[in-house]
Structure 1
Amino acid sequence: MLCMQDQFSVHFWGVRGSIACPGIETVRYGGNTPCVEMRVGGQRLIFDGGTGLRVLGQNLLSQMPLEAYLFFTHTHWDHIQGFPFFVPAFVPGNCFHIYSPLAINGSTIEQRLNDQMLHPNFPVPLQIMGGDLKFYDLALEEVVQIGPITVENIPLNHPGRSVGYRVSWQGHVAAYVTDTEHYPDRLDENVLRLAQDADVFIYDATYTDEEYYNASNGKVGWGHSTWQEAVKLAQAANVQKLVIFHHDPLHNDAFLDQVGVQAATLFPNTVMAQEGMALQLLP
């Protein structure tokens, strides 16, 4: 049996952007919003708390007591709405280290998670959570060291600010880069820094180029990117595997199948993020 101390794996619990969209047309790829878990060297790292976090929480109930590290890219609703329904956070004996850069208005991650659970938005406050919640306000580009695991954050081009994360352990790298918009005339240097030589590069490819640049209903300035840009970045950064992520809620399973085929034609080691998917970096 594989020992968790020897493992570096990436697990997808929510892969959809903007709003959860369960239904018969999103069954295969999933309708939950972002939540990605990395099991690294015996530690559990969780990225974003969208509605997929609720599903992860149900999975973790059989593994308590537990300690985990939760990193938020930003606190737009689709990335935090699962947190009030994350059952392990309510259970005494569990410990969660929660990280995020300050918001542009200076609010901390604790304040923002608290605010979404205030009346009239939610029936019970953050303080009812019985787990040991430890909050950390990251400086931009601050490095977090969790034993031998290195977690770097770099700011992204997104309204209100977002950051991407680069996780390194034993010479292997997973880059989590979501909620970012590409530039029209150049590749984003910050994204390239996050993705450089990564084993797995998870990228916000919400739109197609046709949707993004549409003359009558384009998405320029909305804070998201395209699968075509994902391919360019993956090639330039020399990544091993590209994961298309943060699927538009209007993109059903059949549409995403087509995107996957087109992207893999240009970058063969491309996969479409699916709920329940797991990628093994080590061993």
Structure 2
Amino acid sequence: MSSIENQFTVRLWGVRGSIACPGAETVRYGGNTPCIEMRVGGQVLIFDGGTGLRVLGQSLLSEMPLEGHLFFTHTHWDHIQGFPFFVPAFVKGNCFHIYGAPSPNGMTIEQRLINQMLDPNFPVPLQIMGSDLRFNDIQIGQQIYLGDITIETALLNHPGQATGYRVNWRGCSAVYATDTEHLLDQLDENLLRLAQDADVMIYDATYTDEEYHSTTASKIGWGHSTWQEAIKMAEAARVKQLVIFHHDPLHNDDFLDRIAFQARERFPQAVMAREGMVLQLIEESALEVDSGVAPELKISV
């Protein structure tokens, strides 16, 4: 087996929520909206198509012709605005399998991506994309199988609904859970099951507890969680590595540095998501899971 086929690697291309916010105060953590790439057993898996997808697309041009799988949590703008600028999707010979749950009103993922690119919102329709786009409507709760990769799904607590994903391969697992709002009186059982004993959990922690419960500008009901609740979930699910994700555009680098310090004091395996961050689950260790040896996780930026 080649080294590429031996990998389970997670790379963060966009870590910001709500709206892209490039600028001098967001250089260290990044200003692009959500996009996660996973290389698993030789497969290319992409989660969400925020503005980070444009940057990922540029990096993939050297690998064409390319086949990949693109999973959407939901289609709020910050999660789809990079799709019209994803250059590999315009190139004939490439193939992308696109997955998403129908919206509560029954609109498919294909319809929603088409609508985003209709005049007068965008000058180029989706039909101009030259790659082979294969759309797959999924039901939240079903499992998706790509060879020996299993992808689990769960309902997240977000206005208009969102889907959480868990990727399992040879004893390793990575959970992508954004956008989601914690429950006020208990842990979300859907997410708790999805994240149980995961090696990595990428979790929506847009706010602090103070911001969330503010008496003047409460964020209750907005569909996002806090870093404090992220730690509660990570501890309850026995997650090995927590990645605090979907940063508020108002949170500059210095603010996120302070959250990172506080989070690590409470949960040493917590890290703040940064553009360019790579989390590598070493498959050789994963092969030894049956003997009780946990997968090794390496993080680099």
When normalised by structure 2's length, the TM-score is: 0.93
Alignment of 1:136-151 (within 5 A): 136-151=136-151
Q: Which amino acid aligns with 1:270?
A: A
Aligned pairs for 1:163-242 (under 5 A) are: 163-242=163-242
Aligned letter for 1:263? A
1:241: Cα distance to partner?
0.3
For residue 208 of structure 2, what is the amino acid of its counterpart? T
Instruction: Please name the residue that 2:297 is paired with.
Output: none
Say which SS state the counterpart of residue 133 (structure 2) adopts: strand
Give 2:49's aligned residue: 49
Q: 1:83 is aligned with what amino acid?
A: F
Give 1:3's aligned residue. 3
Please name the residue that 2:287 is paired with. none
- The whole-number CA distance in structure 2 between the counterparts of 1:50 and 1:89 is 15
Partner of 2:12: 12
Instruction: State the one-letter code of the partner of 1:240.
Output: K
Aligned equivalents of 2:238 and 2:261: distance in 1? Answer: 20
Q: CA deviation at 1:85?
A: 0.1
Give deviations 1:181-232, integer Å, cap 9, x for gaps: 0011101111111111000000000000000000111100000000000000
| Deviation of the 1:142 alpha carbon | 1.2
Counterparts of 1:42 and 1:241 in 2: how far apart (Å)?
23
Q: Which runs of structure 2 are paired with 1:153-164 in the superposition (5 Å)?
A: 153-164=153-164
Partner of 2:288: none
CA distance in 1, matches of 2:8, 2:128: 33
User: Match for residue 103 of structure 2?
Assistant: 103
**AA at the equivalent of 2:239:** V
One-letter code of the match for 1:26? T
Matching residue's letter, 2:138: L
Could you say which residue in structure 1 is the equivalent of 2:115? 115
* AA of the residue aligned to 2:113: L
Letter in 1 for 2:224: H
Letter of the aligned partner of 2:272 in structure 1? M
Task: Please name the residue that 2:290 is paired with.
Answer: none
CA distance in 2, matches of 1:195, 1:259: 22
Secondary structure in 2 matching 1:102: coil
SS of the equivalent of 2:239 reads coil
Query: Letter of the aligned partner of 1:63 in structure 2?
Result: E
Alignment partner, residue 71 of structure 2: 71
CA RMSD, Structure 1 to Structure 2 (Å)? 0.9
- Cα distance in 2 for residues equivalent to 1:21 and 1:138: 31
Q: SS state of the match for residue 112, structure 1? A: helix
Alignment match, 2:80: 80
Unaligned runs of 5+ in 1: none
- In 2: Cα distance, 1:193 partner to 1:178 partner: 15
How far off its partner does 1:161 sit?
Answer: 0.4
CA–CA separation in structure 1 for the residues paired with 2:142 and 2:135:
15
Alpha-carbon shift at residue 140 of structure 1 (Å): 1.5
- Shift in Å, 1:282: 1.7
**2:289 aligns to what?**
none
2: distance between equivalents of 1:17 and 1:194? Answer: 22
Tell me how far 1:101 sits from its aligned partner: 0.4
Distance 2:277 2:218 in 1: 31
- Report matched runs for 1:11-30 at 5 Å: 11-30=11-30
Query: Structure 1: how far apart are the matches of 2:3 and 2:56?
Result: 20
Q: How far is the alpha carbon of 1:152 from its aligned partner?
A: 1.0
Shift of 1:3: 1.1
Tell me the distance in 2 between the aligned counterparts of 1:115 and 1:88.
Answer: 20
Does structure 1 residue 35 correspond to structure 2 residue 45? no
1:34 Cα deviation from its structure 2 partner: 0.1
CA distance in 2, matches of 1:276, 1:157: 28
CA distance in 1, matches of 2:233, 2:140: 22
Aligned residues: 283
For residue 24 of structure 2, give the secondary structure of its aligned residue in structure 1: coil
- 1:278 Cα deviation (Å)? 0.3
Please report the TM-score for the alignment, with normalisation by the length of structure 1: 0.99
Q: 2:161 & 2:264 partners in 1: Cα distance?
A: 30
**Equivalents in 2 of 1:81, 1:212: separation in Å?**
26
